[in-house]
Structure 1
């Protein structure tokens, strides 16, 4: 008896499935024109007739709830756009989108047609090509009294809600064309992967602060980027960029901003002594990034930024003339305040960044460098937001590094972001260091070599503005000796000017502090800024002034030392020649004093003679 019953059951089920298949086929074919019409109508009307949807084929399976669009195209009508521009209704951005295939899975089409909630399991977009054209229109900057409609308000007449569990974009090709002042600039990105999770558009989703554009998570993975800057000198690139809205982070790996050419070619093409920058970082990470503020208001808001491992190299070439104009008003904090983009990062962390400054000497045809190795530390309150600065107007930096990879340097900066004259402070210390480490910058630029010297400690507490720097400077050292050098011969060799160097060490400088008489020399810096000098060069010149004061080098002595160094560039092959040069140096060294003494004697003699003549009369 069981066998006939199962035959009946199977027969009934088969018949039901056949009826459902026929019904699905019928509905698919009969409702397909309705769906196509509705789909195109929504896009056309919601964009003020700017966009139209085109495709080669639409496959619809109501039984499974699957829809597939093949070779779909979203096209902006240029004629309509020009009309919108004329009526001052055109948006700043317009899109052209082409994709190989759009797959919609597990969609309740009937509910959507009946005006009920639209529920979709997943959307998959294969190889979309997106072209964004940006053209700013001033009328879009005006504040409208009309409250813009939310997305829910725009769809609620047709649908009570939209729910999509997953949207996947694979291998996006993105092109951005920016039009400004009649000129076009184009940037392209390729092979972008985009995943969007849990989309909700309903009455409550607009007020859900945990969602970004109605989603619970947006995840972007860009495998690489390379862009030549319009100036033709620099190229920016990175190996990978990852963004996750749920984690509120952005990570960029293997970042590079570097010249497209060698140093010599760079300066030759520039024809000026400008700063050439070369930046490479293993990673840049932003945490606590507010994507809503970034996308909607173009404001960068982040809790932390982390710059990890890499190098920052800055070069100058004195063989070329400086760029005309002043460097006043171009300190780091002043540059941040000039940014057009609103910026607020609570804390920026540096970890293992090597900083190098190199300068090519016009006088000696050599490049000197100074390095700050393994720089690490934190910079806080990095912002140009006026409201935030009303509560705390200082950006602070607490930094550590190995200067010349020889001594531990610690510096604390304070930048008054609201100051009209660039007010700032800097204080710090340098631990025990061999003074000879600084020959890498002194010898190529000044033709001077430190023969020996032990830096026990340097401390400074300084303040500055756009026009001057001042403060206390202390320099504890011993056994300091320098050598004046000859110019390199054709074989690249130099000779020490021993006799002249001996006189310099004996006459010009204190070889220790405290000195041989147990007198401790400390400096109070009063440095007037050269407007042609950058912020960093001014800082260095101020500290150098402190070093010179504590070493006993007065302004007059320094001028004589420099003159002596320039006069001893030829090699002294014989003792007689060396003695002659030494004699010239000594004569030059004390010539001002001798001339003054002789002048005083002559004046006294003249006065005595005059008195005698009057007495005779």
Structure 2
């Protein structure tokens, strides 16, 4: 019996020794074969455009480990020039270097028996990636040639490749755009990438549960800052997170802002171009189709959330503004003309302060109107013609506190397929003190509201590119106005203020005769006025009518001001100044447009 065990043990020992010998032989003699195959695969899969280099290759067949030191994927400039001459060169050219590439636990038996490569993990240490983009028109005009898939590039060697996990740490990425002989750079640093469950075989590319062969790609990009080439603005964020399995993108502390102060901004511009500042604590995109985004530059997502932040717009009337025809330039019309497909089912806005401020060209004072803690929802935000056939309306339902007081609610509906920009908006404002508007009236029009209680505002307007029509209801009482002198003082204009309050406006609606005034808006758009400025002027038409100032009465009042001028010569020309005020109030001169700009 003992002899049998001796034979068994001897056989096992011989097998182990044989395996060790085979593995030792493979470790020492497969290196040239592995190196040859590696370089051959890279060369054939890139049409000889790239070559693979490294300082050292450590192959342990027994453990199933491979380590490459100082690896580089280098483009061949001669081949690239030849491809450009043949009009086959790609727009993007890569140069990749990394300190080491570590492959752990690959199955040698599966490679030998089934031609399948199974790997537990791959680690890329400190990659340095340089991407150069050079536009070639023929890539747009020529039909795409059938390209080899990744599987087709190695199917003669392996039938499948599966990698459980890939970790890429501390990526340095530089993007260079070459255009008209000039280049601009964008650099990112300390990027982290994790990839889970990569499968490359005959069927995996068509697997809809995978994104480019993977079950998960997770990317974290910290501390990004970019200055735009115009020299006026910069963009930045604290962190960007991308998760392809959840189909989400998350940006934190997002900023788009000028790189200079207001004075310098407008001095350099030399004209009244609105200065824009944006900040959002959180910007989240959910259920984003990454495949369509990368393949076709199309943005399709179920939901976008913008949370906590501000939008600040500022103009300066001391500088000229070049009139430009704004017909067809409304936000929804620009969306429809966007070159790339956009389809956002829902956009949620929460906790955004909106401020529009302006420097008066005459009084050199800053006035501002605010919409605090704006929140709401936009639906069917798209230029997708197929989706618009089913539902042609983009809608917005928004709320805010105007001047941090009255509750404002507004609903918009945009007919995306209308030839003349058809749209509608309705809304309401809750109770608030009228004096709060002095923050914009005093600096820009040199006028103050002495008293006034706004009980409610309600409106519904139907509009096109050319005209707005609708109803405006404004309930208020105890409205009194003070006109100020050039130094902003009330006393010198008491007589004029009295005339305005007694003869020009109704101090309440319903008025003293219990007549309720409804504004019947019928406003013809000035082509050079923006969509939002036209919206404000349409509402202003309603405000004037509900205050008892119809167009006919306005004309008569202007005539009355002329007569009052000669009757009140002893008031140091006060009524002459009143006429100037009328012009401002009723938009008869350029300065009166201050409050309605934008």
Q: Distance in 1 between matches of 2:411 and 2:403?
A: 19
Once the two structures are TM-superposed, the CA of residue 582 in structure 1 deviates from its matched residue by 4.5
Q: Which residue of 2 aligns with 1:594?
A: none
Q: Which residue of 2 aligns with 1:534?
A: 530
Q: Distance in 2 between matches of 1:472 and 1:295?
A: 47
CA contact under 8 A between 1:560 and 1:588: conserved in structure 2?
no
Q: Which has the larger radius of gyration?
A: 1
Q: Distance in 2 between matches of 1:355 and 1:313?
A: 6
Q: Which residue of 1 aligns with 2:494?
A: 498
Q: Of the candidates 515, 539, 544, which is equivalent to residue 543 of structure 1? A: 539
Structure 2 counterpart SS, 1:344: strand
Once the two structures are TM-superposed, the CA of residue 555 in structure 1 deviates from its matched residue by 4.6
Once the two structures are TM-superposed, the CA of residue 110 in structure 1 deviates from its matched residue by 5.9
Q: Which residue of 1 aligns with 2:588?
A: none
Q: Distance in 2 between matches of 1:585 and 1:25?
A: 103
Q: Which residue of 1 aligns with 2:80?
A: 81
CA contact under 8 A between 2:447 and 2:483: conserved in structure 1?
yes
CA contact under 8 A between 2:287 and 2:303: conserved in structure 1?
yes
Structure 2 counterpart SS, 1:246: coil
Deviation readout 1:6-59 (Å, 9 max, x if unpaired): 999999988876665444332111100110011001101111110000111111
**Structure 1 residues 117 and 496, CA gap change in structure 2 (3 angstroms):** farther
What TM-score do the two structures reach when normalised by structure 1? 0.88
Q: Which residue of 2 aligns with 1:265?
A: 264
CA contact under 8 A between 1:461 and 1:472: conserved in structure 2?
yes
Structure 1 counterpart SS, 2:30: helix
1:303 and 2:302 correspond:
yes
Once the two structures are TM-superposed, the CA of residue 486 in structure 1 deviates from its matched residue by 1.6
Q: Distance in 2 between matches of 1:7 and 1:177?
A: 70
Q: Distance in 2 between matches of 1:586 and 1:158?
A: 91
CA contact under 8 A between 1:487 and 1:494: conserved in structure 2?
no
With 52-61 and 181-190 compared, the bigger mean Cα shift is at: 181-190
Q: Distance in 2 between matches of 1:467 and 1:67?
A: 71
Equivalence map 1:355-370=2 (5 Å): 355-370=354-369
Deviation readout 1:62-81 (Å, 9 max, x if unpaired): 11010001000000011101
Equivalence map 1:126-205=2 (5 Å): 126-142=125-141, 144=143, 147-205=146-204
Once the two structures are TM-superposed, the CA of residue 129 in structure 1 deviates from its matched residue by 0.7
CA contact under 8 A between 1:97 and 1:128: conserved in structure 2?
yes
Once the two structures are TM-superposed, the CA of residue 275 in structure 1 deviates from its matched residue by 1.1
Structure 1 counterpart SS, 2:29: helix
What TM-score do the two structures reach when normalised by structure 2? 0.90
Equivalence map 1:24-423=2 (5 Å): 24-109=23-108, 111-112=110-111, 116-142=115-141, 144=143, 147-423=146-422
CA contact under 8 A between 1:257 and 1:280: conserved in structure 2?
yes
CA contact under 8 A between 1:469 and 1:528: conserved in structure 2?
yes
**Structure 1 residues 562 and 229, CA gap change in structure 2 (3 angstroms):** farther
Q: Distance in 1 between matches of 2:556 and 2:259?
A: 43
Deviation readout 1:338-381 (Å, 9 max, x if unpaired): 22221000000000010010111001111110111000000001
Q: Distance in 2 between matches of 1:587 and 1:65?
A: 92
**Runs of at least 5 residues in structure 1 that lack an aligned partner in the other structure:** 566-575, 591-617
Q: Distance in 1 between matches of 2:285 and 2:45?
A: 36
Once the two structures are TM-superposed, the CA of residue 437 in structure 1 deviates from its matched residue by 1.0
CA contact under 8 A between 2:41 and 2:153: conserved in structure 1?
no
With 8-17 and 547-556 compared, the bigger mean Cα shift is at: 8-17
1:516 and 2:512 correspond:
yes
**Structure 1 residues 496 and 214, CA gap change in structure 2 (3 angstroms):** farther
**Structure 1 residues 584 and 413, CA gap change in structure 2 (3 angstroms):** closer
RMSD: 2.9
CA contact under 8 A between 1:272 and 1:321: conserved in structure 2?
yes
Q: Which residue of 2 aligns with 1:455?
A: 454
